[in-house]
Amino acid sequence: MFSSQEEVIEKEKRYIMQTYRRPQIVIEEGKGAIVKDFFGNEYIDCVGGIAVNVVGYSHPTVVKALKEQAEKLMHVSNLYYTEPQVKLAETLSLISGMDKAFFCNSGAESIEAALKLAYKTTRKKGFVAAEGSFHGRTLGSLSATFEPKFRGVFEPLLLSGMKFVRYNDAEAIRNAIDDDTAAVILEPIQGETGVIIPSAGYLKEVREICTERNVLLILDEIQTGFGRTGKWFCKEHEGVEPDIMTIAKALGAGFPIGAMLAKEGIEFEAGEHGSTFGGSPLACATALASIKVIEDEGLVARSRELGEYFMEEVRSAGTDSKPVVKEIRGKGLMIAIELTKPCSEIVGAALKRGCLVNCTAENVIRLVPPLVISKEQIDRVISVLNEVIS
Ligand SMILES: *Cc1c(COP(=O)(O)O)cnc(C)c1O
């Protein structure tokens, strides 16, 4: 396609809006937890398409389902019934405990749907969200996103009734709820802010407060879903049932698809919401294949086991006692190494040694690898991180 890596990078700068700062690497292909660059160099990928590629790159079951569905029917609009969409909705209900699905194409869109559905269900326009939250970049979902670096020049945002309270503080939520509150919206673990894990009991208490005050609870499982934290969904760690739940990222194993799931009785009616591409046969067949792989290969349990393995190994390697390491924390294969200084240099140094890791919230190295990563690959990642952190 291009004759040199320089040409790709030059033309990217010329033709693409510079919304992302990218390292000097062009990725050509992937298999399992490994990606290859323009020159054929291999990297162990601990970014995993930002918690998307749970079943690994080019999983044969997923590729086969995608090809077969592409040959049959890619898109026909939501004006007609299609089997993969109905099957996926049924499957999601079984694995999530939610009742009904609305399909869309991304995380932000599922948040938009959730906020809109909360409006319509309660006829109220107030929301309580958490400091440090990330729910997306569209104007509505950005209204629920806390960080000033994302809100920036777009203030004031669409939803003026958004209140932000301290994360991991249930009392703050109790105090923020008033007669205009439609819903509380939370991530069960804050992803973009650096894998912030709330105390045990927090979500349960928030659930109780929402029930007591007759306010909806929206859980954003876009990053934590599909085995990432060692359960199908992070809410299971606490036994908490939201009224509305948003999913995307890992749902389609790399094919863009999102969904908003809700409990019985909380739903849109004809004409109240829609999406041209949402829940296309191609997206749904791919997602179904990915869910089957997660089940067949026991990836949910594997995420839990490998997460524990990672924690043990990284401690015995002494990574946590390095002076620049503030804390190492995680749940399943959602892991953060928090440093006392910005981690961009470390990301670059790890890249040179064949590991892709990313930096979130300035000083947090976030590891969300494919759940099919092997112990040997984890060992290699730990030894590289140890070396570059030293
Ligand atoms: C990534 C993410 C989103 C936004 O998803 P997009 O698909 O990028 O729109 C929303 N919430 C959480 C928790 C996320 O991690």
Residue nearest to atom 10 of ligand 1 (CA): 135
Q: What is the band of 354 on the pLDDT scale with cuts at 50, 70, 90? A: very high
Catalytic residue flag (residue 220): yes
For residues 110 and 14, state if they share a domain: no
DSSP 37-73: ETTS-EEEESSHHHHT-TT-BT-HHHHHHHHHHHHH-
For residues 98 and 92, give the distance between their C-alpha atoms in angstroms, rounded to a whole number: 8
Phi, psi of 36 (to 5 degrees): -115, 140
pLDDT score of 234: 98
For residues 223 and 122, state if they share a domain: yes
Q: What's the gap in Å between 220 CA and the centre of ligand 1?
A: 8
Mutate to test the pocket of ligand 1, among 135, 146, 358 (most ligand atoms within 8 A of CB): 135
For residues 212 and 347, state if they share a domain: no
pLDDT score of 349: 97
Which atom of ligand 1 has the smallest separation from the CA of 106? 7
**Mean pLDDT, all residues of the chain:** 97
Q: Is the pLDDT of residue 37 over 90?
A: yes
Mean pLDDT of 123-132: 97
Which atom of ligand 1 has the smallest separation from the CA of 108? 9
For residues 290 and 302, state if they share a domain: no
Closest CA to 206 of 150, 263, 168: 168
Instruction: Kindly state the helix (H) or strand (E) to which residue 18 belongs, with its residue range.
Output: none
Catalytic residue flag (residue 320): no
Mean pLDDT of 13-26: 96
For residues 91 and 84, give the distance between their C-alpha atoms in angstroms, rounded to a whole number: 10
Mean pLDDT of 254-269: 98
Type of residue found at 136: G
For residues 109 and 167, state if they share a domain: yes
Mutate to test the pocket of ligand 1, among 186, 223, 229, 245 (most ligand atoms within 8 A of CB): 223
For residues 291 and 304, state if they share a domain: no
382, 363 in Cβ contact below 8 A?
no
Q: Which of 127, 134, 146, 310 is catalytic?
A: 134
Residue nearest to atom 8 of ligand 1 (CA): 107
CA angle in degrees (0–180, nearest 5) for 369-203-145: 65
For residues 260 and 308, state if they share a domain: no
Q: What's the gap in Å between 244 CA and the centre of ligand 1?
A: 16
Q: Which of 127, 249, 255, 310 is catalytic?
A: 249
pTM of the entire predicted model: 0.98
Domain boundary among 247, 274, 296: 296
Q: What is the CATH number of the domain that holds 47?
A: 3.90.1150.10
Catalytic residue flag (residue 249): yes
pLDDT score of 160: 86
Which atom of ligand 1 has the smallest separation from the CA of 109? 9
Mean pLDDT of 106-120: 98
61, 289 in Cβ contact below 8 A?
yes
For residues 335 and 181, give the distance between their C-alpha atoms in angstroms, rounded to a whole number: 33
Q: Is the pLDDT of residue 220 over 90?
A: yes
For residues 214 and 121, give the distance between their C-alpha atoms in angstroms, rounded to a whole number: 12
Closest CA to 389 of 342, 346, 326: 346
Residue nearest to atom 5 of ligand 1 (CA): 107
State the total domains in the chain: 2
Question: pLDDT (tens digit, 9 = 90+) per residue, 160-216?
Answer: 899 999 999 999 999 999 999 999 999 999 999 999 999 999 999 999 999 999 999
- Give CA torsion, residues 303, 322, 382, 47, to 10 deg: 60
Domain boundary among 296, 315, 332: 296
Q: Is the pLDDT of residue 54 over 90?
A: yes
For residues 323 and 292, state if they share a domain: no
Length of the chain: 390
Which atom of ligand 1 has the smallest separation from the CA of 136? 4
Domain boundary among 234, 266, 296: 296
66, 289 in Cβ contact below 8 A?
yes
Mean pLDDT of 83-110: 98
Which tokens hold the place of 295? 């089940």
Look at residue 295 and give its three-state secondary structure.
Answer: helix
For residues 26 and 142, state if they share a domain: no
For residues 276 and 245, state if they share a domain: yes
Q: What's the gap in Å between 107 CA and the centre of ligand 1?
A: 4
Q: What's the gap in Å between 250 CA and the centre of ligand 1?
A: 11
For residues 157 and 247, state if they share a domain: yes
Q: Which of 45, 169, 220, 243 is catalytic?
A: 220
Residue nearest to atom 6 of ligand 1 (CA): 107
Which atom of ligand 1 has the smallest separation from the CA of 137? 9
What is the DSSP code (8-state) at residue 266? -
Question: pLDDT (tens digit, 9 = 90+) per residue, 307-338?
Answer: 999 999 999 999 999 999 999 999 999 999 99
Q: Which domain holds residue 119?
A: 60-296
The residue with tokens 């079984």 is 94
Q: What is the band of 99 on the pLDDT scale with cuts at 50, 70, 90? A: very high
Tell me the H-state helices in 97-201: 107-122, 139-143, 148-151, 170-176
Q: What's the gap in Å between 104 CA and the centre of ligand 1?
A: 13
Which atom of ligand 1 has the smallest separation from the CA of 50? 1
Which residues lie across from 101 on neighbouring strands? 261
For residues 134 and 21, state if they share a domain: no
Distance of CA 63 to the CA centre of its chain: 22
Q: What's the gap in Å between 253 CA and the centre of ligand 1?
A: 15
Q: What's the gap in Å between 97 CA and the centre of ligand 1?
A: 21
